[in-house]
Structure 1
Amino acid sequence: MTNYLVSNNTFMVDRIVFTRKFKDLTGYRLKLYLYMCRVVGFNPNGRYFKSYKEASKELNMTESKYKSALKWLESNHFIKKENNKMGRANIYRVMFLPLFDGQTYYSREHIVRDRQILKQGGYGYVEMPIELLQGAILSNHSDWTDLRILTLGLLYLYFWIDVFGGIDPNILHIKNTGKLHIDQSILIDLQTTENRFTNNIAFFEKQGLLTKVKCVYRQNQNAAEYELQYIGDVGKVASQSGDIHYTLFRFTIIPSLKLQNAQIRTNGGLDI
């Protein structure tokens, strides 16, 4: 049986970070930015005040690389240095993402970076468990390439366990032939090939971050048009004539609220 980890702590990353939109947000810059987002969490007034000594334990960066990445993030309006508080010399605020025209990054610090603004403005964000972005993902710079980090984050955007049972099958699922159904939109966002994407899925499975799960889908009788909805996992709910089984990918680190909602909606129909 799969070992799942239920997380009680999540943080927010703007969806666009996990695409190739910001061509210069790469390498150490990307990892430091994600680390800062994790530290700040959801609080728009949250502040990052880690010293290099503290951060280097997780980021596995030299001091010069850390300072260089920090300077770039500040210069290009991803973060902003705040006045000295609490006796600390370096305090930063993670800002609303800058506007990028392909050449220059323009500050949008006047926009509040919180859940409500991102939802209402249609910007979109990924809610990630803190445990997902720890350990080797930040410290192993050879195995955890930019593409793997971007792929992981973008897949989490489509991970609605209460709605789909796993990652949205319209984006990714395993066909009866054993091959992957991959929506082209995710390949376009990542600017990658189907082969490289497939290899990264296998890598995530090997790392224990993704697992395959068979889910029962049933026609929604209350919908005006033909619509399939997730009922529960095979073996946990009774199948009916006409049901369709999808083999999906499910993250093994699940936010507690999402899992709670899923179990309520399926009446305990998840094999977790």
Structure 2
Amino acid sequence: LFDAGPGIVRRAAAAALGHKLDALNPPHLDTVFLTHLHSDHTVGLPDVIFTPAVLERHAPLTVYGPPGTRRMVNHLLAAWAEDVAMRVNGLERGDAKAYRVNVHEIAPGVIHRDANVTVKAFRVPHGSWRHAFGFRFETLDKTIVISGDTGVSEEIVKHCNGCDVLLHEVYSVEGFKRRTPQWQKYHSTFHTSSVQLAELAQRAKPKRLILHHQLLWGATVESLLNEMRAVWNGEIIYGNDLDIF
């Protein structure tokens, strides 16, 4: 899992059922990569810690995230300490291992490697956040780059460099014009516009560009796609919940 937004365990379970992906069934959710610690990317973290444990996960959760992740996890474990004690020591006799969390606070470079995948982290500029990361996900036959929340970043260009899939956040230029000056300053500092992303794609050359974390503010999906297609003619997909590629 990359990031832990609201409802993540239920959506993973829905994907497991709808797409017959057993790896996304709650008892198998045991690894999370966090791009940064904004609440919309982490409010589901207690769900990933505790719900799969209740549903008979038999391994600790492993969390990779920026500095500050360990403190966040420690606070969550403290907040649910009474619940965990009851589930482990009460009639449920839950597996204590499942309620443990192994935290790895990351820096740029290889942060995870197993027989199937290598994951590399790289820094991205997300406004005034000191620590925000994108990820490069390498398997034997695919390279996938995940931007995280970011402004325009040459690190993404470098780490994609013809990648199979670039999953990138975006906001609508048309919708942006409707925002107040204060919000325009915020979004232009913390995020990437449709036109900026299309220009970035010209340099990064992904085989497939999938949009997520889309901010429309009343604009249409088609208008956002048209803004991008006027600049870049590669494959662009507007991502939706539970899509599979």
Task: Please give the TM-score of this superposition, normalised by the length of structure 1.
Answer: 0.29
Larger Rg: 1
Task: Please give the TM-score of this superposition, normalised by the length of structure 2.
Answer: 0.31
